[in-house]
Amino acid sequence: MATGVSVDRIVDVLKEITGASKPRDGQIEAVKRLVVERKDTVLIAATGYGKSAVLFAFSALVDKITIQIVPLVKLGESQRDEIARKLPKSNPIWIDADTHRTVCYFWFPC
Question: Cα–Cα distance between 2 and 36 in angstroms, integer?
Answer: 7
Q: For residue range 54-94, what is the model confidence (pLDDT) as tens digits?
A: 999 998 999 888 887 777 888 888 888 988 888 888 888 88
Question: Cα–Cα distance between 65 and 77 in angstroms, integer?
Answer: 17
pTM, to two decimals: 0.74
Q: For residue range 15-67, what is the model confidence (pLDDT) as tens digits?
A: 999 999 999 999 999 999 999 999 999 999 999 999 999 999 998 999 888 88
Question: Cα–Cα distance between 31 and 23 in angstroms, integer?
Answer: 11
Question: Cα–Cα distance between 32 and 58 in angstroms, integer?
Answer: 9
pLDDT of the residue at 72: 81
